[in-house]
Amino acid sequence: MRKVKGLAAAAATVLLLSACTDGGSSAADEQPAPAGRTVEDALSSFGSIDEAYDAVAGVLDCDPGSTAEPVTIQIDGYLPEYRMCTDTVEIVRYENEADRTKASELLNAAENPLPYFAEGSNWHVLVLPGREGGKPGSDHIAALAEELGGRFVGLATG
């Protein structure tokens, strides 16, 4: 497992491992919150990486035998929990929403951002570019986000 220290190094890792594409997330790509609640309040959370994995595996075809190494980011000295769903799909669980928000900002601010991912209050499901193996499309990740009570973050359309 490769550990990346510091936010600058984490951003560099995201740049190196993200797909070559222009754009970022669009408000149209994100799911609205129910009336009276903020989007963040409405997002689901998981108590452990295994709970997150089980939820993702209920929607995507995860491979429990995957030996792929996750991409790791250390946030303010804290290393989130990681588990690979497949060789190309990574699940990340953070201690809290603030750490997930910092990671989301890095993903969205990267020069070559990930084209799409799902996120909840304290989790991400990332489709890693540059890896061998089948990759779920944006429609699959959008459906996953909806099923898990999170939101889909994707490139602006149009």
- The pLDDT confidence band at residue 156, using thresholds 50, 70 and 90, is low
Q: In what order do the strands lie in the sheet with 151-154?
A: 81-84, 89-93, 123-127, 116-119, 151-154
Q: What three-state secondary structure class fits 84? A: strand
Give the pLDDT mean for 132-144: 94
Bridge partners of 127, per DSSP, are 89
Q: What φ, ψ does residue 148 adopt, rounded to 5°? A: -90, 0
Residues 149, 43 contacting (CB under 8 angstroms): yes
pLDDT digits (tens, 9 = 90+) for 23-35: 333 333 444 444 4
Q: Which range in 12-16, 47-51, 74-78, 107-111 is most confidently predicted, on average pLDDT?
A: 47-51
pTM of the full structure:
0.74
Residues 156, 25 contacting (CB under 8 angstroms): yes
**Number of Cβ atoms within 10 Å of the Cβ of 114:** 23
- The pLDDT confidence band at residue 41, using thresholds 50, 70 and 90, is low
pLDDT value for 1: 35
pLDDT digits (tens, 9 = 90+) for 61-88: 999 999 999 988 888 888 999 999 999 9
CA 17 vs CA 7, 44, 139, 150: distances in Å:
15, 27, 22, 24
Residues 112, 19 contacting (CB under 8 angstroms): yes
Give the pLDDT mean for 45-61: 97
